[in-house]
């Protein structure tokens, strides 16, 4: 079976769907015993990982695994695992944002590479799904307020990450490879907001506000300080120099990476008013 950490996250959920769709058995790790999973996947609480037998491959989400990651790999190896795929970040080779976040990804990569398993590292750009954070503002009006308007990134569709992850988990062809997974276009924040407006059929405007205003709003909304730390640190750097872009999605999948416009169209309902 294939063990998926972060199975309810945007990448993990899609990876579970793709693998079960190919008839592969999946153990989906979640703390939520009520999590709804595709047929062919069964739910595993993190505490139950040591009880698993016959694990073939592991998808490691550094955030979901947290400090337990090394122990998970030890259990997976004992249960027969041969492969590990790690969800990392473009900030490892292209530093941006607070160093502590990049260091967490670097540590997860080193764990995978030193695990004795066949490893594949997926260094991901910012996920298109991150822009779901704008959904409330867009449902309620035509202005999106955010910091660092000129932050430019080649946002990746998380379904493309999952497609690469599923290939690397299911077979041996991607062992020892490190991929930079980005979208096909470098877009500023106003570009992304305009794309959403085009999909919704109404003009939307990005209004730049101070980083402190964004931070204050997030803290007031109950988010941990880590969320604005992670977001604002990288946006500040991407406003100075655009995030990296590459064509590994296309090379691995044999088709172009999905555009942000495609993602926006496919997630229209989340931004449309009631
Ligand atoms: N978002 C980006 O732009 C970006 C960019 C590069 C890399 N990454 C990395 O890519 C990986 C995949 O991200 P993802 O958004 O698909 O989801 P994820 O972080 O892999 O998974 C989220 C799930 O993990 C579980 N979880 C367990 N402990 C958690 C904790 N302390 N904080 C948050 N979630 C926890 C939760 O599931 P249950 O409640 O069901 O247990 C949650 O639904 C992450 O490691 C992330 O750091 C993200």
Q: Which residues contact 27 (CB under 8 A, 6 or more apart)?
A: 1, 2, 3, 4, 41, 42, 44, 52, 55
Residues 172-214: pLDDT tens digits? 999 999 999 999 999 999 999 999 999 999 999 999 999 999 9
DSSP assignment string, 35-46 = ----TTEEEE-G
Choosing from 6, 10, 153, 227 the residue with most ligand 1 atoms within 8 A of its CB, the one to mutate for a pocket test is: 6
Q: Is 121 helix (H, G, I), strand (E, B) or coil?
A: strand
Angle at 218 between CA 192 and CA 13, to 5 degrees: 60
- Protein residues with CB under 6 Å of any ligand 1 atom: 6, 8-12, 30-32, 35, 61-64, 66, 87, 89, 124, 126-127, 130
Q: What is the 3-state secondary structure (H, E, C) of 84-116?
A: EEEEEECCCCCCCCCHHHHHHHHHHHHHHHCCC
Q: What is the C-alpha to C-alpha distance for residues 198 and 129, in angstroms, rounded to an integer?
A: 18
Q: Which atom of ligand 1 is nearest to the CA of 124?
A: 6
Cα 63 to middle of ligand 1, angstroms? 5
| Whether pLDDT at 22 is above 80 | yes
Q: What is the C-alpha to C-alpha distance for residues 158 and 130, in angstroms, rounded to an integer?
A: 10
The two tokens of residue 203 are: 């003009």
Cα 61 to middle of ligand 1, angstroms? 6
Choosing from 9, 37, 163 the residue with most ligand 1 atoms within 8 A of its CB, the one to mutate for a pocket test is: 9
Cα 5 to middle of ligand 1, angstroms? 9
Cα 178 to middle of ligand 1, angstroms? 20
| Class of 2-128+157-182+244-257 in CATH | alpha beta
Residue 139 confidence (pLDDT): 97
Q: What is the C-alpha to C-alpha distance for residues 48 and 64, in angstroms, rounded to an integer?
A: 15
Residue 79 vs residues 29, 127, 138, 231, 242: alpha-carbon distances, Å: 16, 32, 47, 37, 43
Confidence of residue 273 (pLDDT cuts 50, 70, 90): confident
Say if CB 29 and CB 42 are below 8 A apart. no
Cα 9 to middle of ligand 1, angstroms? 5
Cα 251 to middle of ligand 1, angstroms? 26
| Whether pLDDT at 90 is above 70 | yes
Residue 5 confidence (pLDDT): 98
- Average pLDDT in the 244-259 region? 98
Residue 274 confidence (pLDDT): 62
């Amino acid at each position: 079976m294939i063990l998926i950490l972060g199975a309810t996250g945007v990448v993990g959920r899609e990876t579970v769907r793709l693998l079960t769709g190919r008839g592969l058995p999946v153990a989906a790790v979640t703390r939520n015993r009520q999590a709804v999973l595709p047929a062919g996947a069964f739910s595993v609480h993190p505490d139950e990982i040591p009880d698993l037998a016959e694990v073939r491959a592991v998808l490691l989400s550094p955030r979901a695994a947290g400090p337990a990651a090394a122990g998970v790999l030890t259990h997976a190896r004992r249960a027969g695992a041969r492969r590990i795929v790690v969800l990392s970040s473009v900030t490892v080779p292209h530093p941006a944002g607070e160093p502590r976040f990049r260091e967490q990804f670097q540590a997860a990569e080193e764990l995978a590479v030193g695990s004795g398993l066949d490893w594949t590292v997926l260094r991901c750009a910012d996920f298109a799904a991150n822009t779901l954070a704008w959904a409330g503002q867009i449902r309620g009006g035509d202005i999106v307020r955010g910091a660092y308007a000129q932050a430019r990134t080649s946002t990746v569709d998380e379904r493309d990450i999952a497609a690469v992850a599923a290939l690397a988990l299911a077979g041996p062809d991607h062992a020892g490879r490190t991929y930079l997974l980005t979208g096909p276009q470098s877009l500023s924040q106003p570009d992304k907001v305009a794309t959403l407006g085009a999909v919704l059929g109404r003009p939307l405007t990005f209004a730049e506000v101070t980083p402190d205003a964004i931070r204050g709003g997030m803290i007031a909304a109950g988010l941990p300080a880590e969320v604005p730390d992670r977001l604002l640190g990288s946006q500040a750097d991407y406003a100075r120099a655009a995030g990296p872009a590459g064509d590994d999605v296309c090379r691995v999948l044999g088709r172009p990476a999905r555009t942000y416009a495609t993602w926006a169209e496919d997630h229209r309902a989340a931004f449309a008013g009631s």
